[in-house]
Copies of this chain bind each other. A is one copy, B any other.
Amino acid sequence: MFPRNAWYVACLPDDIESGPLGRTICNERIVFFRGEGGKVAAVEDFCPHRGAPLSLGFVRDGVLVCGYHGLEMGCNGQCSDMPGQRVRGFPSIKAYPVEERYGFIWVWPGDSAAADASLIPTLEWADNPDWAYGGGMYHIQCGAELMIDNLMDLTHETYVHASSIGQPEIEEAAPETVVNGDEVITRRTMEGIMAPPFWQAALEGNNLASDVPVDRWQICRFSPPTHVLIEVGVAHAGHGGYDAPPEYKASSIVVDFITPETDTSHWYFWGMARNFNPTDQALTDRIREGQGKIFSEDLEMLESQQRNLLHWPDRNLLKLNIDSGGVQARRVIERFIKEETAAAEGPAA
C-alpha cells in the first residue's frame, strides 16, 4: 500500500519519444504519450471499445489512436473520434494528472481533483548549468518500502558494495535520524578516513588528490511519497567536511525516485547530480556507469529479501538504530495513507 495522491516519477521523456508507453504504477495500468502540442498525457491503458491496451497504438495529431480498430483517445480520457462511429456517448476512461519537469515525467495516480503541480518536489540541481546529472532505471521485483529501507540505511554499503563505496568505517559511525515534518533525515559522518575507490575516482574527477585522508558524509533525505535524495561526498580532512569550500571536496546528490508498480515490485529511477566539472560529459558517463554497476548489486539482495518476507509473512523484523530512517519513513507513508483514506471517506467520517 502506498499513497496515491502524490507525484511519482513515471518515466523519462525519451521513453515516449517514439510512441506511447504502457506502464503500471501503484497498480494502475497507465499509458503515457505526447498529446496536443507535445504536452505529455496519461490515461488508463484500456480502450473502451474492446479493451485493447492503448499503448499498442500510436499518436496522431495529438490524440492516441488505438492500434486495434482506430478509436481516437484524447488526453482527457474522452474518445474524440472513431472511423465510421458517433463517439459522443462512448464511456470515458480515467485521465491522470501528469507533468513534465526536471527531465522526468511525473504522474498522480490518485484523485485528480487533489492534484497540484506545485507539490512536485523542487530539484535545485535540475535545469541548472552548475550541475550535471546522469542516471538510469531498474525494474525491481520487491516492494518500494524495501528500497527505501535500503537507501535510508547505508550501512549495507560495507557488505553489498564492498569494492566501490563500502568501507568498514561506515558501520563504525552511528547514524543520526531526525524527523522534520514529512521529511526523514538520516545523517552519518566519518572523519580522517581514506576514500573508497568510487570516491577516489570522484576526487580525481575534480582534480583533487585521492591518496590523503578525507572527511566523508552521507545525508539521506526521505520525502513522501517514496523519494530519497542523498547528499554524499568527501572533503580533504580538516577543511570543514560537508561545509568545506568547493576546492577541497567532491560531492553530489544521489537521486532515488522509487515508484511502486505493484505491492511487490517497483520502478527504480536512480541517478547522481554533481556540481563539479558539470560540463565534462565523459565524467558524467563514467559516473553513471559506475553507479549503475553499484546499484545493480542491490537487486539480488532486495529481490531475495522480498521472497523471504513473502515466505515468512508473520515474522517480525528488528528495528535497530541503523534502521531508524526506514522505520520513520514508513511511519510517514502510513500517515499519508491514513489521511488519504480519511479524506476519501469525506468529512462525515
Contact = CB atoms under 8 A, between A and B. Distances in A.
Interface of A: 29, 45-46, 48-53, 56-57, 65-70, 82-85, 90-91, 149, 153, 155-156, 158-160, 168, 171-172, 174, 300-301, 304-305, 307-309, 311-312, 315-318, 320-323
B305 A172 contact: no
B308 A52 contact: yes
Nearest to A82: B320
A308 B45 contact: yes
9 contacts: A29-B308, A50-B317, A51-B317, A68-B160, A68-B305, A69-B171, A70-B155, A84-B171, A84-B174
Contacts of A159: 57, 65-70
B90 A315 contact: no
Quickly give the copy total for this chain. 3
Given A67-B160, A67-B301, A83-B172, A51 B312 contact: yes
Contacts of A168: 83
A305 B48 contact: no
A91 B316 CA distance: 10
Given A68-B305, A300-B56, A155 B49 contact: no
Given A45-B308, A53-B307, A69-B171, 5 more contacts: A48-B318, A51-B317, A57-B159, A66-B159, A68-B301
Contacts of A318: 48-50, 90-91
Nearest to A50: B317
A308 B67 CA distance: 14
A90 to B, nearest CB: 7
Contact of A29 (B70, B83, B311, B320): B311
B51 A309 contact: yes
A314 to B, nearest CB: 12
A158 B320 CA distance: 61
A304 B51 CA distance: 9
A333 to B, nearest CB: 17
A286 to B, nearest CB: 27
A300 B158 CA distance: 45
Contact of A171 (B56, B83, B153, B156): B83
